[in-house]
Amino acid sequence: MLPDGSREQPRVRNDLSGEAGNVVQAATINGDLHFHGAAQPGRTATAQPVARWDPFDLDVHRAIAVADLPVLPAYLHRDHDDDLDAHLADVDRSTMVVLTGESSTGKTRALYEAVRRHEVLRDWPLVYPRTADDLVAACDRIRPGTVLWLNEAQHHLGSAHAVAALRGLLEGAGPVVVLGTLWPQFWSAFTASDEHARSLLLHRVVCVRVADRFDGHDVARLKADGKADPRLITALATSGDGRRVIQTVAGGPALVERYRHPDSVDDRYATAVLSAALDARRLGFQGLLTRVLLADATEGYLTGEDRVDTPGDWFERGVDRAAKGDAHGITALIPKRVSPGVGPAEGYELHDYLDQQGRAARRSTPAPDSLWTALVEHAEGYDDRFRLAVAAYERLLYRYADQLRDGIEALATLLADRGHWDEALAVVRDGDQGWTPRWLADRLAAGGNVAGLRRLAATNCLHAAAHLVADDLEHGRLANAMEGLTALRQARHPLNADLVTLLVGRGQAGGDRRGVPRRRTPAGPGSARERSGLARAGRPGTRSPSRRRHQTEPASGLPGRAVPLGGGA
């Protein structure tokens, strides 16, 4: 049965996603056959008209709970609703509209109300895929005349496969209407650095901005409405000059107040748990906040008297307070289950208003070792580990960055290639590895830093001396090259294939090739450099394009201070 409830057969595509064993198609294959890499299979999303959806299942925020009032306040029409209605006036062709705005400003509610009041869309089946994999699966099944719901679309647009599937859906027969929400910072990030999402958002998507506060027209409209919801009136009166009425209604400020000023010991335990969760998000961890991760991370956030004679169930009490102690109907931690079927929560998500406010409040607060240790242990996704590694080396926490990356040499090379020489050198010094002199010589050679190579060679680094021989040969300084070559041979230092090529080109190698291998392949930590595609860095005489005009060299002879490339020759 298809998402819209019909029993027509869906169109067949010659695609295989995820892992597959023996595959048999008992028919003729028409068109191309595509095999995709391993991916999680998408779940079939429910398809039903908006009237049959619980608004909270579409992620509409719960409002301040008041007895004898409906769970959703009466809706107040605002300027962005007029824009939204105008863009949805023509549903004879496929379109995608994304509302952007800060957390808890009413984006999701605005989309929900727009579909409800639309004479056509309110009767169309509405499908809500929760993940990028679910979206890919849904796009294969969606029929014309469907509303596709992408609340917090950052969870979908980060996948190139999902973006491609979404573009294919919009460019297909249609019509379909895609509705989504994004924080402004996610819109900026996608349109600035993600080539797949940027093309989609800038060329196929209509963006409607939702203001984060009421303007004069909104205030006047609310005050003039004799049937306005009393929660909106109260929120307007208590939101102050900021006029963040919707956020107040949504209970966000109450969460922030409790987090910043805990009243009881359980509130303090909850604050410790939430601080760990906030820092994990701030440092780049986007996965599910599992209990085991939070348990291992939170101990370092206990302060003062709470660290003395702490009861054995302190963590459970903190989590219960954060996940069950509601503020006007909402909680700081939202229980989540990602596995199919029913069962206990497998982890938590932060309420987005607290997440946004907490990031700003904690942006300059160092995270304790307990969090970093827990992230090293429990962060599983490659993207999560990469973001955390970057955050660690930016904070000079190399012992964690090395564990989060594939190897210390790969981390040092990544830092050097991004111009972070001080951090790169700190990595290799802390590493105390036998490959350090060779690595440093290779990086100096890649940057054309001849003066640095000479100073390194003066410390009896034969790798640096070999690079100097190559530089002398390349620039015609044959006497210097032969002197250096003699010293290398006396030290029984093997010559790599690139240096031999230069010798042959200058007619200096002759028939004496003793001790010269066909090609010397770095072993041990050096293999990480090869795997990362940076083997070119070790080739004598080559220079990175980004470093042709300047080289880096501090007073010690190691990379750091920028000087003209020709100055060290």
Q: What strands lie across the sheet with 146-150, from one edge to the other? A: 47-48, 126-127, 146-150, 176-182, 95-100, 205-209
Write the single-letter amino acid at 431: G
Across the range 505-518, mean pLDDT stands at 44
- CB-count burial class (<10 Å; 0-12, 13-18, 19+) for 28: exposed
Higher-scoring residue by pLDDT: 464, 539: 464
Amino acid identity, position 498: D
- Report the pLDDT averaged over residues 162-170: 93
> Are the C-beta atoms of 118 and 141 separated by less than 8 Å?
no
To 5 degrees, how large is the angle CA 436–CA 439–CA 444? 125
Identify the pLDDT of residue 564.
Answer: 25
Long-range Cβ contact pairs of 112-115 (< 8 A, separation 24 or more): 112/50, 112/55, 112/58, 112/60, 113/75, 113/81, 114/81, 114/84, 114/85, 114/88, 114/179, 115/50, 115/147, 115/179
Which residue intervals of 151-215 are DSSP H helices? 154-157, 160-170, 184-193, 195-204
- pLDDT computed for residue 327 by the predictor: 61
> Do 127 and 121 meet the contact criterion of CB atoms below 8 Å apart?
no
Type of residue numbered 357: Q
pLDDT tens figures, 33-81: 443 433 445 566 689 999 999 999 999 988 766 777 888 888 888 889 9
Q: How do beta strands 95-100 and 205-209 pair?
A: parallel
Question: What's the 3-state SS for 427-487?
Answer: HHHHHCCCCHHHHHHHHHHHCCCHHHHHHHHCCCCHHHHHHHHHHHHHCCCHHHHHHHHHH
DSSP code string of 291-332: HHHHHHHHGGG--GGGGSS--TTHHHHHHHHHHHS-BTTB-S
Per-residue confidence band for 125, with pLDDT thresholds at 50, 70 and 90: very high
| CA dist list (Å): 408 to 136, 258, 457 | 37, 42, 23
Q: Does the pLDDT of residue 515 top 80, yes or no? A: no
- Would you say 357 and 256 are in contact if contact means Cβ atoms under 8 Å apart? yes
Which carries the bigger pLDDT value, residue 509 or residue 441?
A: 441
Give the domain ranges of the chain.
15-209, 262-404, 433-568
Give the least confident one: 40-44, 341-345, 479-483: 40-44
Bridge partners (DSSP) of residue 34 are 15
Residue 458, token pair as written in the block: 């003066």
Residue 204 pLDDT greater than 50, yes or no: yes
What's the rounded mean pLDDT across residues 325-342? Answer: 77
Mean pLDDT of 379-395: 82
C-beta separation of 489 from 515 below 8 A:
yes
Distance CA(148)–CA(451), nearest Å, equals: 61
Task: Report the pLDDT value the prediction gives residue 302, as an integer from 0 to 100.
Answer: 93
Q: Which residues contact 530 (CB under 8 A, 6 or more apart)?
A: 521, 522
Average pLDDT of the residues of the chain = 76
Tokens 């010589």 correspond to 441
Per residue in 243-253, pLDDT tens?
777 777 777 77
Asked if 350 contacts 104 with a C-beta cutoff of 8 angstroms, the reply is: no
User: Higher model confidence: residue 3 or residue 460?
Assistant: 460
Amino acid identity at 76: L
The model's pTM is: 0.48
Comparing C-alpha atoms, which of 103, 124, 96, 126 is closest to residue 208?
96
| Of the listed ranges 108-122, 149-163, 400-414, the one predicted with least confidence | 400-414
Which pLDDT value is given to residue 290?
93
The percent of residues above 70 in pLDDT, for the chain, comes to 73
In 296-306, which positions are buried (b, 16+ CB within 10 angstroms) versus exposed (e)? bbbbbbbeeeb
Higher pLDDT, 545 or 7: 7
Count Cβ atoms within 10 A of the Cβ of residue 427 and give its class: 0-12 exposed, 13-18 middle, 19 or more buried: buried
Least confident window among 157-171, 223-237, 410-424, 456-470 = 410-424
Identify the CATH assignment for 15-209 out of 3.90.1150.10, 3.40.50.720, 3.40.50.1220, 3.40.50.300: 3.40.50.300
Token pair recorded at residue 543: 């220079």
Q: What is the pLDDT of residue 191?
A: 92
Q: How remote is the C-alpha of 191 from its chain's centroid?
A: 14
Token representation of residue 258: 């409790």
pLDDT at 543 over 60: no
Q: Are 446 and 413 in contact (CB under 8 A)?
A: no
The structure tokens 């827990």 sit at 374
Query: Are residues 567 and 449 in contact, defined by beta-carbon separation less than 8 angstroms?
Result: no
The residues with which 16 forms a beta bridge, in sequence order, are: 35
Separation of alpha carbons 312 and 318, rounded Å? 12
| Residues 430, 398 contacting (CB under 8 angstroms) | yes
Residue range 92-99: mean pLDDT, rounded: 96
Amino acid 569: pLDDT: 28
Mean pLDDT confidence for 227-242:
74
Per the model's pLDDT, the better-predicted residue between 114 and 325 turns out to be: 114
φ, ψ at 147 (rounded to 5°): -100, 125
